[in-house]
C-alpha cells in the first residue's frame, strides 16, 4: 500500500511517501480502506515533537473509509461498512495517511450510506473536542441532542475554526443560542453559515458589551480557542455555574484569571484535550456526534461554514503545512487520488 511515514520528528519535510505491506488486523481490530484523512493541529505538533517508533509513524488521527477486513473477535458483518475513524494514531503506529489503516473496532463509527467520506474525515478531533467543551459546565447536561441546550447560551471564541465550526453546529442542533466571535467579515460569513445566531467581530466591536446585550445573565459555556488573550473577556461574561473550556495552546502562553470575579458565579475553567479526557465523556461524545451526523445536523463545505482544502496523499506534507499556517476551514488528504 501507499502510505505517508516519518522516521524522525521535524518539519513537514520529514514526511515521506513509501510503499508498505498491507496491514492485517489483530484481535479486536478492523482494517479500513481509507478514502479521506483529516489533518489537525495535533498531527503536525506530534510530528514536530514526538519521536516515532523504529518502523516509522503514519500520521493523522482522523479519517473515513470502508472496513475491508476484521480481526479475531470482531463480527465479520462489518466488512463493507462505511465508517469514520477517531484517534487512529494516538500511541499507535498506524494513522490514516495511508491507503489502509488498522484500528481497534471501537474507534470506527458507522457512517451510513448518505454522509460523505469528506464529512466523516472532518469529524474526529474537532467534533469530539467541541462536544467536551459544550458539556463540562455544571449547569449543562453531559449529553448533547435536540433540545438538550434549549434556554442556554454558548459563546464560541473563534467561530470560523474547525473546532469553532463544530461547536456551533452541535450547539445549534441542541437548540442553544450561539454567539460566535470572529476577526473579519469573511469569517463572520462562515460562522453565520455554520448556524451562529449572533456574530461579533472582536476587532470592530466590544465583545463584552455585545455578549451582555444578547445574554444579560451571561453565557453558560465558552468554547475558548485563545484563553491567554480572551480570559479577561470570558471572566466578564460567564454565567452562574458556567464553564470556560480551553482547547488550544497559544504557544505556551499563560492564562491569568481574576479569582474573585470567578468565585461569585462558581465558574469552572476547564482544560480540554480529547486524547486524555475521561473515557465515559469520550464515549458519550462519539455517540452524540454520530447521532448529529445521522440526523443530518452536521455539514461540511463553505456553505456550511467549513471550507475544505483537499490535498492528494503524495502532498500530505503540504496539507500539514497548511494546518500549521492556520488554514481557515478543514484540511483533508484524498487518499484515493
As a whole number, the mean pLDDT across the chain is 97
* DSSP label at residue 274: G
User: Average pLDDT of 159-183?
Assistant: 98
Q: What is the pLDDT of residue 250?
A: 75
Give the pLDDT band of residue 214 (cuts 50, 70, 90): very high
pLDDT at 189: 98
- For the chain, the straight-line distance linking the first and the last C-alpha, in angstroms and rounded, comes to 14
- Specify the CATH number of the domain 2-122+306-334: 3.90.180.10
Q: What cell numbers appear for 93 in the block? A: 503506529
Task: Name every residue whose Cβ is closer than 8 Å to that of residue 25 and which is 6 or more positions away in sequence.
Answer: 31, 69, 70, 71, 74, 102
Confidence of residue 23 (pLDDT cuts 50, 70, 90): very high
**What residues does each domain of the chain span?**
2-122+306-334, 126-275
Q: What are phi and psi of 29, to 5 degrees?
A: -110, 165
Beta strand segments in the chain, E? 2-5, 16-19, 29-39, 62-70, 82-85, 100-104, 108-110, 153-157, 177-182, 198-201, 219-224, 238-246, 268-271, 308-312, 330-334
The CATH T-level fold of domain 126-275 is: Rossmann fold (3.40.50)
Rounded alpha-carbon distances, angstroms, from residue 37 to 58, 199, 202, 336: 11, 31, 33, 10
Closest alpha carbon to 197 in 236, 169, 231: 169
% of the chain residues with pLDDT over 70: 100
Which pLDDT value is given to residue 51?
85
- 198 neighbors 180 (Cβ within 8 angstroms): yes
CB atoms within 10 A of CB 117: 22
Amino acid at each position: 500500500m501507499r502510505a505517508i511515514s516519518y522516521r524522525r520528528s521535524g518539519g513537514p519535510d520529514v514526511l515521506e511517501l513509501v510503499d508498505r505491506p498491507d496491514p492485517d488486523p489483530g484481535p479486536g481490530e478492523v482494517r479500513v480502506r481509507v478514502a479521506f484523512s483529516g489533518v489537525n493541529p495535533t498531527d503536525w505538533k506530534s510530528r514536530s515533537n514526538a519521536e516515532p517508533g523504529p518502523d516509522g509513524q503514519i500520521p493523522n488521527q482522523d479519517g473515513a473509509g470502508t472496513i475491508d477486513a476484521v480481526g479475531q473477535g470482531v463480527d465479520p458483518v462489518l466488512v463493507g461498512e462505511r465508517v469514520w475513524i477517531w484517534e487512529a494514531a494516538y500511541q499507535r503506529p498506524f494513522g490514516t495517511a495511508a491507503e489502509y489503516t488498522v484500528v481497534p473496532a471501537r474507534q470506527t463509527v458507522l457512517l451510513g450510506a448518505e454522509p460523505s467520506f469528506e464529512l466523516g474525515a472532518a469529524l474526529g478531533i474537532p467534533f469530539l473536542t467541541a462536544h467536551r467543551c459544550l458539556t463540562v459546565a455544571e449547569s449543562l447536561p453531559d449529553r448533547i441532542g435536540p433540545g438538550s441546550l434549549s434556554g442556554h447560551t454558548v459563546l464560541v471564541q473563534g467561530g470560523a475554526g474547525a473546532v469553532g465550526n463544530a461547536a456551533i453546529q452541535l450547539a445549534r442542533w441542541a437548540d442553544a443560542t450561539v454567539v460566535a466571535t470572529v476577526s473579519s467579515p469573511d469569517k463572520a460569513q462562515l460562522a453565520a453559515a455554520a448556524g451562529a445566531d449572533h456574530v461579533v467581530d472582536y476587532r470592530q466591536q466590544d465583545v463584552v458589551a455585545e455578549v451582555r446585550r444578547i445574554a444579560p445573565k451571561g453565557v453558560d459555556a465558552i468554547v475558548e480557542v485563545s484563553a491567554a488573550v480572551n480570559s479577561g473577556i470570558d471572566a466578564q461574561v460567564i454565567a452562574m455555574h458556567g464553564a470556560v473550556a480551553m482547547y488550544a495552546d497559544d504557544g505556551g502562553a499563560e492564562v491569568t484569571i481574576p479569582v474573585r470575579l470567578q468565585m461569585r458565579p462558581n465558574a469552572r475553567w476547564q482544560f480540554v484535550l480529547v486524547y486524555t479526557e475521561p473515557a465515559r465523556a469520550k464515549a458519550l461524545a462519539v455517540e452524540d456526534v454520530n447521532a448529529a451526523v445521522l440526523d443530518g445536523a452536521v455539514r461540511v463545505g463553505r456553505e456550511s461554514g467549513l471550507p475544505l482544502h483537499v490535498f492528494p496523499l503524495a502532498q500530505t506534507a503540504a496539507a500539514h503545512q497548511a494546518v500549521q499556517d492556520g488554514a481557515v476551514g478543514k484540511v483533508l488528504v484524498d487518499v484515493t487520488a
